[in-house]
Amino acid sequence: MRSSRLLAAAIALSAWTTVLAQGPTYRLGTTPSEAEIKARDTAVSPDGKGLPPGNGTATAGATVYAQKCVACHGPNAAGTTLARALVPLGNAKPVKLSWSLVPYATTVWDFINRAMPKTKPGSLTADEVYAVTAWVLYRNDIIKETDVLDAQSLPLIRMPHRDNFFPAQPGWKPMAKRPLGYYP
């Protein structure tokens, strides 16, 4: 029993190293240029890597919101039939609405940057994304109206719900028994 388990572990480990270490077999595909990778690698993770230069405050964000967001999200970010409310977004009181549970400010920035406004996703400048992110966070009582958001300050914001999440570890093993309470 024990030796078979060891053997299985050894096989699993060797398969793993194989994937990591081996060179190319088929030699298809082309090497992308640094510029192409940079142009496409726009997603921003919680550490803030990849955030572009630029900055904005809630005050500036109010102007952007009035121009480009209010039509769908409504006055005071209360939502309309076209789009959800932006408050609450990360309030400290657990709300049984999954979309109120945003854990990182970078997630807000990243989604606005890639997907907003709906009529022209990806058209906002970095300054506009920083500003409108600041405005949304300000409306959720997470930052002050005059706080400046940029590549340095954004990842430092602690969302109120940040500690109310199970850690972001994959924790996945093939055929592992799933823990009750995490799954029904």
Is 104 a binding residue for other proteins by CB under 8 A? The answer is: yes
Q: Return the residues of window 117-146 that contact other proteins according to CB under 8 A.
A: 118, 121-129
Please report whether residue 39 would count as binding other proteins according to CB under 8 A.
yes
Q: 52, 75, 60, 59: which is closest to 145 by C-alpha?
A: 59
Own/partner contacts of 112-120, CB < 8 Å, gap of 24 or more, are 112/136, 113/42, 113/44, 114/42, 114/43, 116/68, 116/69, 117/68, 117/69, 117/72, 118/72, 118/83
Least separation, in Å, of the C-beta of 121 and other proteins? 5
What letter does residue 78 receive in the DSSP assignment? Answer: -
CB-nearer residue toward other proteins: 47 or 145: 47
Q: Of these, 2, 5, 98, 156, which contacts other proteins (CB under 8 A)? A: 98
Considering only 1-9, 40-48, 63-71, 132-140, which stretch makes contact with other proteins by CB under 8 A?
40-48
Q: Which of 2, 3, 4, 177 binds other proteins (CB under 8 A)?
A: 177
